[in-house]
Structure 1
């Protein structure tokens, strides 16, 4: 056991509803001592961290946010499989104290599972502000499990939760928690089945839980029941007979009756432990803010203003830090140029690695600031309002209202955004959202925008980048409308958006979010971009003896083959090579441009590769290039996850082909119209 006295380690599962503060709870406990990966066999994110308190090492696993332990969604299956694996010492159930009725539904299922549970009544301060006083000691007595009030945002109560976890894990004679008692007819049938199915004395899971879940129609639980019951497959027919008998007797579906009984138990519990103070006549802060940000006319302008402010910060503050970092990298390049003899080694380090990797790393401050702003808006509860605002627009454009949530995630990275489409119940809605998500401007494209906007639009860089993000959204919704009308049915499932109360994000939580993103960026810079930079340098250097990055190099010959294709867009062969290599990772577009342009138009006193790029592009061709970079073929990682999520090479080929064609058409349109208007 992981709770052995010699190792003093506990494996803790952190379970709770979405928006219960579970992730904040996890971050407060583990800080930077956490590892982010995927659950085996699936692409759902797995977070695990370490914390040490009271001489015990806690290994904490942050389970996906779920509403129940039914085996319907991927997240529910993962959470339940982990809980019943047999290795968990304690479950910490993080409950939103302000939404007890909904949150306690999962709690009741955890108690039925028979696991050692500690309930963390999180955001207890917000519940008090709403006039809800919770007698947590009485709740603990009624449920026979520890209940601790917490404020995870500021760390209040977390140590007490861990202390209770140690106690309950060590107590081998602990009382079984009080679980739901169902309709007398159902209870009678459960008792009869427990005797009739002949479970072993030490069954891996509580027989009562297996029977209840099987009666609810849970196929996974029924399969486990047939394995562990001495009756084998005959147990399946006994369950089915009991189910039909109960439904005939009760007059409605059995899973609905069981759910109603659980909610009835919760209602009775809340009646005992919750005291409602006199309702205040003054509206809550959340209600005041929502009157403004959810206003029918003001809501969307406020959303757009916040997005624009994000880009202003990204360019303004981020630009200052980025230029400072760029000066350091340039100084290092100058130093290496002076101390190393001319030759392949110096060329590789200066023209290849520093131009490629360094040229991307200079945008790290911009990316960190953008993600800090997004994390702040997300943690505060505003992003849920943004999705609510866009619901009507999404429906008008043929997309499901819930599609806006993955689209917002797409601003960070298209890969997890595509995974997030699993929250859409309809396969058609899910597939349609997957097909349009690559049009969302991910953070990997941001270095391209910052490079060109900084060179050609220095006074209006934020507005230019803002226009590209808006263009991506516009093309996504228009594509969704067209695809909905042509390839998919015109019906959409209903959408109910949860609006959590506003909360002030913690500095620690925001910094951890930024660090996660920054580490992904740095990891890619140290692996994919480094490898690509070396390859591009080699292609620009070979065959030996040609001028580096010239049209006589291998890279130049590849570019010359592509040049006739991009010429109608006003682009040269170097831009074509950059776009080609950008399919591996969009950041490589900047690396390729910096490497290939590093020796072109070099003049005395030139300030860097920006000067050389400014000789090959105009503001019109620069904007065209940014638009093409926004729309054309997704990166390899995105293509791979599209295949995994759709399960079809046909749809993967479709999304690759239509984005490439759309990029060319829109780029050609912008360049042609721009020239007609005299902007070329």
Structure 2
């Protein structure tokens, strides 16, 4: 049986760790959370030389001092997870900063291999690294790599296998701290050995260093042992002794020694041709982060993203839409009328299909976001908008959370809220959590795309760009109000690192796009499918009682009898069955399936042509059409009157269902905005997931559709023809969906992150109230100005 080994991937943020992780694992990876916390955990696997290698991507961190949650997680995994090898990913162009983490890993006594990543960037800056010399100084294998191009990957894996099978103990004493400090370390280490205290495979020397540094995590572990008094007493004596001698705390002494060691190693192994040059990234930033040009360029970039997203995805969106229309028509043909056909067509195909139809648009948006992230421009966006955020009482770190939540449409509030875990100031973290759901997450995009496609088909990118600006404006306004009232207080300082610009790899972009798009599709196939079926049932039962349906049926019978009695009708129709056959014939013609009726009555073709069906007009002489004009007028009048009665019957039936009663009850609340009962039901479904708004509208208007010639129309087409729908109503719905109650998953995360239902209920209440007020203002102002009506 093949062997299995675990490799921990460690490194600084922006060291290319994610690119290397993707190069190693490809699509064989999954994302979750570390146990008990909300920090993202990435894992993947691969096969190499008959070994299964399980790769765990540790959170990016600059050190292992356990000051932040990421540092604690990374260090605890090395300590407790006992990986076979730690793969330390180092940015060759920022070697001094990156080596601090490397030295700490070596001090722990872990089996370390260094991936000297982005060596091409370093050489571009005329930084020449003698990796063999550096390997000799650090005592570990060092392999130059380029994650984007796959350079050094096989050598890295071979070295990892060799290192994992090396039985020699790791010393963990790469740095000598000087006579005084070493003597104190020996004293503490001796006490640890006497107490037989051990922490996994790690050396007691490292534990002694951590105790002298005052590391709270290690101190708590030592205090948890049976014999701690002598150890604690020795640590206190040693700390006091070192402070008396050096007039500095041991933490500073250790840090200085580490950087001294790093400086010496770099002097011996690194040669820089020039020291007074300005890097390419810094030259670019002179323009992209300029106070005047920066915001202008940012707006142009965002507008370009939406332009490419909508125009690029439009053919595929149309194809998806046509596919689900075809699928619905096919199932309608195959199955007899009844509950099963209604469930499949109205509940599943029109419900879930309405959401899945926007998959190409979502994928294009995620691809564009991945480009911004991988090039390093996303960090510049955060840097520039940090200046704006401070005016609204937010922390600069809030920007990262808001961007993830949908600052550029397509994010998600759940990871955005989780990203606030890195924020130290509790008030700023809390207000960021509360306003993150106001951003344009990916779940809202199908609603936007539906309304924009139906009522603003020639300005899609412009409207989407405007919605992004509106979302930011409302979120920042809400933050300002909250920070000035319930969460008043000064803002804390914020430092953001700007990574160097990089050329993204197509492989990395596709992996990022696939991961996020697949989550969207999976949600549509599970949560939204279940909710769509439930809503279909709520819109189907209990239905219309026979005594209430009878008046409508009698009226239709009367209309049919009167029409068949007309002399003009008798030349084509003999029975009611003939009318149904003709209606089916026209539907097939509209779908381009007229060939199925080659042998149909000639009168059907002539009447269809007289009614304006283009496919029939091509096959019939104009003289014959003229002869059928009287019947065409009579038939049109009959069909319109019958459709009106059937629509009234169907509307009455839907209003009598569980969902209908709920929607009608809510009309009293939403009447000022103009939402009808079907829209109200869709908004209630949106409490579970915002995508459900689209699927519910699809189900509602599918169940309410009775005109045979309109059976294959898409949801945007139905809304365009529906009474009460217009551009102003579309904007009202967009604004309400943008702002109202966070989805169920987001509420659960808010509860978990804040630790109380109080703030969760506050988020539900204030967002829904804000949504109602904004939508009402839009409705009133639009009506007064007669805009969009």
* Fold in common (TM above 0.5): yes
Q: Which position in structure 1 is the counterpart of 2:737?
A: 629
**In structure 2, C-alpha distance between the alignment counterparts of 1:416 and 1:608, rounded to whole Å:** 33
Q: Which segments of 5 or more consecutive residues in structure 2 lack a partner in the other structure?
A: 546-649
**2:207 is the counterpart of 1:210:** yes
Q: Which position in structure 2 is the counterpart of 1:593?
A: 697
**In structure 2, C-alpha distance between the alignment counterparts of 1:421 and 1:203, rounded to whole Å:** 31
Q: Which position in structure 1 is the counterpart of 2:292?
A: 297
Tell me which of 746, 752, 756 is aligned to 1:644.
752
Tell me, yes or no, if the aligned pair for 2:188 and 2:231 is still in contact at 8 Å. no
Tell me which of 218, 223, 238 is aligned to 1:221.
218
Q: Where in structure 2 are the equivalents of 1:237-636 lying within 5 Å? A: 237-279=233-275, 283-411=278-406, 412-545=411-544, 547=650, 550-600=654-704, 602-606=706-710, 607-614=713-720, 615=722, 616-636=724-744
Shift of 1:594: 0.6
Q: Which secondary structure state, in structure 2, belongs to the residue aligned with residue 598 of structure 1?
A: helix
Tell me, yes or no, if the aligned pair for 1:210 and 1:222 is still in contact at 8 Å. no
Tell me, yes or no, if the aligned pair for 1:440 and 1:473 is still in contact at 8 Å. yes
**2:780 is the counterpart of 1:662:** no
Q: Where in structure 2 are the equivalents of 1:160-171 lying within 5 Å? A: 160-171=155-166
Tell me, yes or no, if the aligned pair for 1:17 and 1:103 is still in contact at 8 Å. yes
Q: Which secondary structure state, in structure 2, belongs to the residue aligned with residue 57 of structure 1?
A: strand
**In structure 2, C-alpha distance between the alignment counterparts of 1:185 and 1:613, rounded to whole Å:** 81
Number of corresponding residues: 673
Tell me, yes or no, if the aligned pair for 2:108 and 2:172 is still in contact at 8 Å. no
Shift of 1:591: 0.5
**In structure 1, C-alpha distance between the alignment counterparts of 2:519 and 2:136, rounded to whole Å:** 46
Tell me, yes or no, if the aligned pair for 1:17 and 1:67 is still in contact at 8 Å. yes
Please identify, of 38-47 and 386-395, the stretch whose mean Cα deviation from structure 2 is larger.
38-47
Q: Which position in structure 2 is the counterpart of 1:3?
A: none
**In structure 2, C-alpha distance between the alignment counterparts of 1:164 and 1:233, rounded to whole Å:** 43
Structure 1 residues 157 and 280 mapped into 2: Cα distance closer, same or farther (>3 Å)?
A: farther
**In structure 1, C-alpha distance between the alignment counterparts of 2:682 and 2:514, rounded to whole Å:** 28
Shift of 1:66: 1.2
Tell me, yes or no, if the aligned pair for 1:143 and 1:177 is still in contact at 8 Å. no
Shift of 1:285: 3.0
Tell me, yes or no, if the aligned pair for 1:380 and 1:504 is still in contact at 8 Å. yes
Shift of 1:127: 0.7
**In structure 1, C-alpha distance between the alignment counterparts of 2:772 and 2:719, rounded to whole Å:** 22
**In structure 1, C-alpha distance between the alignment counterparts of 2:742 and 2:362, rounded to whole Å:** 20
Q: Which secondary structure state, in structure 1, belongs to the residue aligned with residue 274 of structure 2?
A: coil
Shift of 1:578: 0.7
Q: Which segments of 5 or more consecutive residues in structure 1 lack a partner in the other structure?
A: 1-5
**In structure 2, C-alpha distance between the alignment counterparts of 1:31 and 1:628, rounded to whole Å:** 40
**In structure 1, C-alpha distance between the alignment counterparts of 2:245 and 2:310, rounded to whole Å:** 67
Tell me, yes or no, if the aligned pair for 1:110 and 1:117 is still in contact at 8 Å. yes
Q: CA RMSD in A?
A: 1.7
Shift of 1:175: 5.4
**In structure 2, C-alpha distance between the alignment counterparts of 1:262 and 1:584, rounded to whole Å:** 52
**In structure 1, C-alpha distance between the alignment counterparts of 2:741 and 2:374, rounded to whole Å:** 32
TM-score w.r.t. structure 1 length?
Answer: 0.96
Shift of 1:151: 0.7
1:386-426 deviation line (CA, Å, top 9, x unaligned): 11111111111211112111111011100000000112121
Structure 1 residues 199 and 265 mapped into 2: Cα distance closer, same or farther (>3 Å)?
A: farther
Tell me, yes or no, if the aligned pair for 2:6 and 2:54 is still in contact at 8 Å. yes
Q: Which position in structure 2 is the counterpart of 1:184?
A: 179
Q: Which secondary structure state, in structure 2, belongs to the residue aligned with residue 214 of structure 1?
A: helix
Tell me, yes or no, if the aligned pair for 1:144 and 1:175 is still in contact at 8 Å. no
Q: Which position in structure 1 is the counterpart of 2:112?
A: 117
Q: Which position in structure 2 is the counterpart of 1:48?
A: 43
Shift of 1:235: 1.9
**In structure 2, C-alpha distance between the alignment counterparts of 1:82 and 1:423, rounded to whole Å:** 19
Shift of 1:234: 3.6
**In structure 1, C-alpha distance between the alignment counterparts of 2:421 and 2:88, rounded to whole Å:** 24
